[in-house]
Amino acid sequence: MAKYFDVHPDNPQPRGIAQIAESVRAGALIAYPTDSCYALGCRLGSRDGIDRIRSIRRLDDRHHFTLVCQDFAQLGRFVRLDNDVFRALKASTPGSYTFILPATREVPRVLQHPKKKTVGVRIPDHVVTQALLAELGEPLLSSTLLLPDEEEPLTQGWEIKDRLDHVVDAVVDSGECGTEPTTVVDFSGGEPEIVRVGAGDPARFE
């Protein structure tokens, strides 16, 4: 049965955030809110977490996982950025965008696209997510909480607890969050390619 954390959206309780972070460090798979919609998250090196996310969402090995980072200092450890891409990302973060970029050696191979050697990264604009990332001290390995055969992600903490009670370890509820996944922009070929239009305005990359 999943633990349920009721977290204040503007002033997250430090004790609750610390408990969530500790559960992630111990290998937990969590459902948590972001500035776009709910996501599934686990520790970066958790092979069990990766397998469970793939099972819940029925994903194949070509799926781009996302490293949800606290800031640019963290993001820069995991992807390679030239000056033009850095400026483009800097102008759009934090926000509801996921960027696909060449992975560095810091990224476990299992998280990289098998042919392109890329990974998704983002910096969310969400108080609770940022508090959790600061407490954790490392990115969350994440994927949008979009269940198979459903067109829209889950957005209510109580519903996620009800439906995924036996397949996730914790649900973080901080009230309403977005209903759209992020806009995904692929920079791995040099020029921006919009892969998915979502919550972030794609106009700046067109």
Q: Which of 98, 94, 99, 100 is nearest to 118 (CA)?
A: 100
Q: Give residue limits of the domains in the chain.
A: 3-205
- Name 179's Cβ contacts closer than 8 Å, sequence gap at least 6: 37, 152, 153, 155
pLDDT band at residue 110 under the 50/70/90 scheme: confident
| Number of helices (H), then strands (E), in the chain | 6, 10
Residue 65: per-residue pLDDT: 87
pLDDT band at residue 139 under the 50/70/90 scheme: very high
CATH node for 3-205: 3.90.870.10
Tens digit of each residue's pLDDT (9 = 90 or more) over 40-73: 999 998 999 999 999 999 998 778 889 999 999 9
Question: At which residue do the structure tokens 């106009």 appear?
Answer: 203
Whether the pTM exceeds 0.85: the reply is yes
Tens digit of each residue's pLDDT (9 = 90 or more) over 161-198: 999 999 999 999 998 887 888 999 999 988 899 999 99
